[in-house]
């Protein structure tokens, strides 16, 4: 969703056609979810939608943050709703231990800080966010009886 938002932003604002690989590179290089991280810039190359010729321009992290803001807002809302539906016994754990950010979103600079500020709880990025997803899924599969009411 973030890559798609970046592609759409480049098309609308700069009339520049970029592919998914370029959008992902932008996200990984200067993408961010918090203003403390949006001062970087990079050159983006694509095809001009007005002339059809190759074109390049410089964009800043702030622009990328704005482009993905709706996606970040959706993530924040989904987590807030999950927290609101969390049993009281677990809410205490969330308050004392915070949340662990895993998956590709954990690689986005400043997402942990953004979520912490918006949700009012501590948020840390897992040591290896991508591996954490696989490890967590493995634990669920290894203990399917324990998680059957939740996942199966």
So where are the chain's domains? 2-67, 74-151
The angle, 0 to 180 degrees and rounded to 10, between the axes of the packed helices 2-14 and 20-30 is 100
Per-residue pLDDT averaged across 15-40, rounded? 95
Has residue 152 got a pLDDT over 70?
no
Per-residue pLDDT averaged across 101-109, rounded? 89
Distances (CA, A) of 117 to 51, 92, 98, 108, 110: 43, 18, 12, 16, 11
Has residue 114 got a pLDDT over 80?
yes
Q: How far apart are CA 77 and CA 3, in angstroms?
A: 19
Lowest-confidence pick of 87-91, 108-112, 127-131, 133-137: 87-91
The percentage of residues in the chain with a pLDDT greater than 90, rounded to a whole number, is 66
Instruction: Name the band, by pLDDT with cuts 50, 70 and 90, for residue 137.
Output: confident
**Residue 26 has what pLDDT?**
97
- pTM comes to 0.83
Q: How far apart are CA 71 and CA 50, in angstroms?
A: 28
Per-residue pLDDT averaged across 65-85, rounded? 94
Q: How far apart are CA 80 and CA 115, in angstroms?
A: 9
| Domain at 74-151: CATH architecture | 2-Layer Sandwich (3.30)
**Residue 89 has what pLDDT?**
80
Q: Are strands 54-60 and 41-48 parallel, antiparallel or unpaired?
A: antiparallel
Distances (CA, A) of 7 to 22, 27, 75: 9, 11, 19
CATH number of 2-67: 3.90.640.10
């Amino acid at each position: 969703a973030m890559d798609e938002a970046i592609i759409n932003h480049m098309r609308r604002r700069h009339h520049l056609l970029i592919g998914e690989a370029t959008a992902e590179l932008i996200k990984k290089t200067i993408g961010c979810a918090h203003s403390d991280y949006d001062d970087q810039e990079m050159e983006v190359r694509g095809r001009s939608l007005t002339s059809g010729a190759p074109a390049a321009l410089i964009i800043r992290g702030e622009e990328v943050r704005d482009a993905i803001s709706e996606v970040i807002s959706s993530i924040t809302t989904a987590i807030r709703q999950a927290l609101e539906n969390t049993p009281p016994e677990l809410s205490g754990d969330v308050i004392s231990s915070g949340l662990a950010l895993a998956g590709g979103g954990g690689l986005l600079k400043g997402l942990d800080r953004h979520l912490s500020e918006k949700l009012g709880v501590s948020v840390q990025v897992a040591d290896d966010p991508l591996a954490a997803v696989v490890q967590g899924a493995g634990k669920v599969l290894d203990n399917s009886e324990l998680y059957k009411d939740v996942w199966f």
